Amino acid sequence: MSKFAYMKGLYRFGRVITYIILILCAVICIAPFIWMVLTSFKTNAEALRFPPTFLPKKFILTNYTNGWKMADFGLFTKNTVILSLACTIGVVFSSALVGYGFARFKAKGSAFWYVIMLSTLMLPSQVTMIPQYIIFTKLKLVNTYWPIIIPSWLGGGAYNIFLYTQFFKSLPKELTEAAKIDGANSFQTFWRVMLPSIKPVALCVGVMALVYHWNDFFTPLIYLNSTQKYTISIGLQFLNSTQGTARIGMMMAVAVIAMLPVLIIFFLAQKYFIEGIKISGLKA
Amino acid sequence: MSVKKTMSGNERRDTINFYLYILPWLISFFVFTLYPMIKSFWLCFTDSDFSGRGNFIGLENFKRAFTKDPLFFKVFANTLYYVIMFVPASLVISFFIGWLLSQKIRMLGFFRTVFYLPYITSGVAVTIMWGWIFNSDYGLINYLLSLVGITGPKWLTDKRTAMIAIVIMSLWSIGNNILIMLAGIQDIPATYFESARIDGASTLRQIFSITIPLCTPTIFFNLVVGTIGAFQIFNQPYILTKGGPVDSTRTVAMYLYSNAFEYGNMGYGATISWCLFVIIMFVTLIIQGTSKHWVFYDN
């Protein structure tokens, strides 16, 4: 066999192995979800069986109905929606403002503050969470949503500011020059420069913030005490700790319901997540 | 003369505008970052409760942590164990899969979506799902193992394997890292590989001489961010094992949470948080220090 044919054979073999490994990984990624969904339609008796069945022999929907009622899902969903939206809107707007500031204005100390801002990305939240809690206790804001919402409106986090700064820096100077010549003040310039092209970044920041706040467990955990205020993640854990040990079918059903909104957002807005990753990775 | 005046007028306007625009973040920095950092350091030397009121007790918290509290070192050991098991594995796996994805395969979009799914859905629901997957009697993993004749371990109820289960669960969700690595690899100009191939370099040689060296900034980024994140692990052990069995999965973040928010001992909690902070900084500085030797930036 000629060397060329040998290399070609090896190349093909390499391609096959590549696909096999990737497909295996894809299966590993999806299998748990499939198992979860199938279990949610089984009775407890069938789910808690060894060896397990694959497709439910008896297909039931009561896990979903019971779970929804028992977990008070309607209430938790409403809470989570309100909280996540309030935070997301805050993040999208305030980090745009701050990002614009860092990108557009050369002032004394702007480089210094930019470095400080970026270095807060490295700060573990544990160092600041206790005094933050004390602040909110003194303000009597514990067991409200304010401790979670307020930080989102004050700059929305260094990562989001970073994304916006990169974006604004990439816009051609001519846009701002033109606006300035027309006598626009800085805020009018902000609207004119910002509005036309901001959609990709804003959506990027928005969907990531939405998913983050939707899934957030720790912050609501420390600030929310009454069941009425619980978000989906806290409610789910609460249900898990009281009912979870035996009622596997119901727990899986509730978990599926909890995941659904995030999955929908993800499938609708996939490319914005990918964009966000690309920008952050490249600037590393 | 008039030119000079306009320049400084512009400068002044720019300065005012700058601080005006970043004001939201500046407020947040002083109120929610700088002040808390200083205050939590102060709290380490007090026995404060929820309201922040307490007495100055000097080094009592540290004495308790280093000499009287057996759990203190245990939680740091557990957390370190998790970091060491998780971070290197996550880098190797995400690089490997990222590299596979960069090989001009079909259905790249499909694979990207599938690999990202575990990351995007992370949360309580997924954690609870994994809790059941690791169930020793009815879970998916032990069932699959039984198909090849292995009796699976007790995973989350066995102190030897509980943390390992949590590491496995975390490794399943590294879709984000995979995509970051992929972006880093795709960034390498194709010409480097072209010329290497013309020179007869094998694929393996190409990976080690071109791909990896040029990816070191991305790897460095993932290493630092990943390590800092891994030290703070809380959700999975809290939801699945509550720190058990026998405190084998009790992490620093969990210990901090129970001391500060369950027992109301903010002083001791602050002490734990500062010890964690110092360790994270120390590790980050070491990584930073060695980076000169292995990270290549294009210049």
Classified as helix, coil or strand, B46 is strand
Distances (CA, A) of B230 to A165, B86, B227: 27, 8, 5
Render pLDDT for B223-267 as a digit per residue (tens, 0 to 9): 999 999 999 999 999 999 988 788 899 999 999 999 999 998 999
Question: What's the pLDDT band for B73 if we cut at 50, 70, 90?
Answer: very high
Task: Give CA–CA dist B43/B297, Å, rounded.
Answer: 42
Section B187-214 average pLDDT: 82
Across the interface, which of A113, A255, A284 has its CB nearest the CB of B22? A113
What residues in B contact A21, CB-CB < 8 Å?
100
Higher pLDDT, B244 or A153: A153
Show contacts of B164-169: CB within 8 Å, 24+ apart. B164/B85, B165/B130, B165/B134, B165/B240, B166/B82, B166/B233, B166/B236, B166/B237, B166/B240, B166/B241, B166/B249, B167/B82, B167/B85, B167/B86, B167/B89, B169/B127, B169/B130, B169/B134, B169/B236
What residues are paired with B264 via a beta bridge? none
The confidence score (pLDDT) of residue A64 equals: 86
Contact A32 B123 (CB under 8 A): no
> Rounded to a whole number, what is the largest CA-CA distance in chain B?
89
What residues in B contact A136, CB-CB < 8 Å?
none
CB A39, CB A47: distance < 8 Å: yes
Q: Which of A260, A249, A254, A256 is nearest to A41 (CA)?
A: A249
Query: Does A139 score more than 80 pLDDT?
Result: yes
Secondary structure element (H or E) that encloses residue B270, with its range: helix B266-294
Render pLDDT for A96-134 as a digit per residue (tens, 0 to 9): 999 988 988 888 888 999 999 998 988 999 999 999 999
Q: Which of A193, A192, A200, A171 is nearest to A92 (CA)?
A: A200
Residue whose entry in the numeric block shows the structure tokens 């350091």: B41
Q: Where are the domains of chain A?
A: 3-40, 72-282
Mutate which of B30, B32, B147, B271 to disrupt the A interface (most A C-beta within 10 Å)?
B32
Mutate which of B16, B26, B28 to disrupt the A interface (most A C-beta within 10 Å)?
B28
Find, in chain B, the residue whose alpha carbon is nearest to that of A248: B132
Task: Give the tokens for residue B110.
Answer: 């499909």
Closest chain A C-alpha to B200 CA, distance in angstroms: 11
B232 phi, psi to nearest 5 deg: -100, 10
Question: What's the pLDDT band for B7 if we cut at 50, 70, 90?
Answer: low
Contact A117 B17 (CB under 8 A): no
Mean pLDDT for all residues in chain B? 88
Burial class of residue A12 in the structure, from the number of CB atoms within 10 Å of its CB (0-12 exposed, 13-18 middle, 19+ buried): exposed
Query: Does A62 score more than 60 pLDDT?
Result: yes
Contact B36 A102 (CB under 8 A): no
Per the document, the length of chain B is: 299
Contact B22 A52 (CB under 8 A): no
Question: What's the pLDDT band for A284 if we cut at 50, 70, 90?
Answer: very low
CB A193, CB A130: distance < 8 Å: no
What topology does CATH give the domain B69-294?
MetI-like fold (1.10.3720)
Task: Give CA–CA dist A280/A283, Å, rounded.
Answer: 5
Tell me the CATH number of domain A72-282, given options 1.10.10.10, 1.10.3720.10, 3.40.50.10860, 1.10.540.10.
1.10.3720.10
Task: Give the tokens for residue A66.
Answer: 């019971």
What residues are paired with B56 via a beta bridge? B46
Find, in chain A, the residue whose alpha carbon is nearest to that of B232: A124
Classified as helix, coil or strand, B297 is coil
Closest chain A C-alpha to B88 CA, distance in angstroms: 18
Q: Where are the alpha helices (DSSP H) in chain A?
A: 3-40, 44-47, 62-70, 73-104, 110-119, 126-138, 146-153, 158-170, 173-181, 186-197, 199-215, 218-223, 232-243, 248-282
The confidence score (pLDDT) of residue A282 equals: 56
Secondary structure element (H or E) that encloses residue B40, with its range: helix B35-43
What residues in A contact B51, CB-CB < 8 Å?
134, 137-138
| Residue A51, preceding peptide bond in cis (omega within 30° of 0) | yes
Classified as helix, coil or strand, A70 is helix
Across the interface, which of B97, B280, B284 has its CB nearest the CB of A25? B97
Which region among A39-48, A97-106, A161-170, B57-66 has the lowest average model confidence (pLDDT)?
A: A39-48
Q: What is the residue type of A9? A: G
CB B82, CB B75: distance < 8 Å: no
Task: Give CA–CA dist B51/B160, Å, rounded.
Answer: 39
DSSP code string of B135-189: -TTT-HHHHHHHHTTPPP--GGGSTTTHHHHHHHHHHHTTHHHHHHHHHHHHTS-
Question: What's the pLDDT band for B88 if we cut at 50, 70, 90?
Answer: very high
What residues in B contact A259, CB-CB < 8 Å?
121, 123, 125-126
Task: Give the tokens for residue A23.
Answer: 């497909």
Q: Which of A65-69, B75-79, B135-139 has the highest mean pLDDT?
A: B75-79
| Neighbouring C-alpha atoms within 13 Å toward the C-beta of B152 | 22
